[in-house]
Amino acid sequence: MSNYRKTDPGLWTGRKSDSQLYLHEKVQCLDFGKMEFSSLRGDNFALLGYASDQGVIRNQGRKGASKGPDSIRQQLAKMPHHLNDGTLLWDIGNIHCEDGNMEKAQGVLGKIVTSILHQGWFPMLLGGGHDIAYGHYLGIKSYLNAQGKNQTLGIINFDAHFDLRSTEHANTSGTPFYQIARDCKMENNPFKYMCLGIRKDSNSKTLFHRARDLGVPYIEKKHFNLLHLNNIRYKLERFIGEVDVIYTTIDLDGFSSAYAAGVSAASPMGFSPEMVLECLEIVIDSKKLISMDIAEMNPTYDQDHQTAKLAASLIHYVMHNKT
């Protein structure tokens, strides 16, 4: 599997203890190509990186997101954990984009996601451009099809952008949910996609019209704050009630650059971490969340690792509230 690389265990360093108090002491790095999956089943967490910024480059964004997964790992490693001994944390490695072939990388990513889900593990994907979402979706779709239960998948995207751009010229980091919508139409499946934090200064009129035509519910950034939490909760719970399982994706460029400067398209006008945590709690409490990813981490533009720390804290939050 030429696109695959095992994680360098040296990335996982931090304060040492005698009782595995920190995540770098808890994590186990595995080589996906050599894994005996059947012997490793359980209610565990699996980290998988998408080390690609090809979609960002195609979308005329800032290069550097291919280094995102490892920068998140380095900050996550230092954090304490409160997981019980029976809950394991696996680091599966990274998928790389070779020779600009983003579509191949997405396909490999999808196959590994499917394998992770079949193990009963919870995938936590680290990006990388937001084109991670299409590969992630392919893996979830394959898994759900194999279950034969005709389950409806809901996608919740925390983002400033719809990422519903046309694929007329190329697939990019701005097209994944349009690609998903197109696939759903071809396969006669419902397209259930909700966006939280959308900004008018980040989406063209065409994209708003496309979202409307595709029946995409969204909450604009101006209403995505604690003052409107009750209304947000109502809309989010209504969406959750319409689906069987949920895939959540967090684009770090949706946050204000005060929290996340290290992204491909930074802006001071984004939302706050508190709002995302409030919504994640609602999603987790539904018991429908089966997978998540964090996209657009770009360490080239990070300041004092703050964006990587934010991404790591979000993963830490989900990991500890889902158990």
User: Would you list which residues are annotated within the binding site for Mn(2+)?
Assistant: 130, 159, 161, 163, 251, 253
Q: Which residues pair with residue 297 across a beta bridge?
A: 263
* 161, amino acid identity: H
Name the binding residues.
Answer: 130, 159, 161, 163, 251, 253
Distance in angstroms (rounded) separating the CA atoms of residues 20 and 231: 41
Other CB atoms within a 10 A radius of the CB of residue 209 amount to 11
E strands within 109-254?
122-127, 153-158, 192-198, 218-220, 245-251
* 299, amino acid identity: P
Between the CA atoms of 60, 201, 272 and 314, what dihedral angle is there, to the nearest 10 degrees?
-30
Other CB atoms within a 10 A radius of the CB of residue 127 amount to 35
8-state DSSP, 9: G
Name every residue whose Cβ is closer than 8 Å to that of residue 210 and which is 6 or more positions away in sequence.
162, 164, 178
Name every residue whose Cβ is closer than 8 Å to that of residue 95 and which is 6 or more positions away in sequence.
3, 4, 48, 49, 50, 51, 52, 105, 108, 109, 112, 135
